[in-house]
């Protein structure tokens, strides 16, 4: 049986920014890190839509909701978490 794959999307809800991080088949670490950020007081969230949705469509949809796509947003948030 083939594993389903999905996008990992990270949102900074205070600054209306987001990043389409990667395609994954296991979001355990990703959701754990987002939970760590939330526990540290950050207003962040995540989503894991199916990988059948195009990255371009997701980016355009989020832009229409007022969010700005920022490459590297997730990694910077995680790096900042470990320097606090």
Q: Where do we find the tokens 């949102």? A: 11
pLDDT tens over the chain, length 84 residues: 667 899 999 999 999 999 999 999 999 999 999 999 999 999 999 999 999 999 999 999 999 999 999 999 999 999 988 776
Whether 33 is covered by a domain: the verdict is: yes
Single pTM value for the model: 0.91
- Name the residue range of residue 57's domain: 6-45+52-62+70-81
Number of domain units in the chain = 1
Whether 1 is covered by a domain: the verdict is: no
**Strand 44-47 relative to strand 6-12: parallel, antiparallel, unpaired?**
antiparallel
Rg (CA), the chain: 13
Whether 23 is covered by a domain: the verdict is: yes
């Amino acid at each position: 049986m083939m594993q389903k794959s999905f996008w990992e999307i990270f949102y900074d809800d205070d600054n209306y920014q987001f990043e389409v991080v990667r395609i994954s088949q296991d979001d355990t670490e990703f959701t754990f890190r987002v939970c760590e950020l939330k526990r540290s007081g950050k207003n962040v969230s995540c989503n894991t839509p199916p990988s059948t949705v195009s990255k371009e469509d997701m980016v355009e949809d989020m832009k229409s909701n007022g969010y700005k796509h920022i490459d590297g947003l997730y990694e910077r948030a995680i790096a900042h978490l470990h320097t606090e």
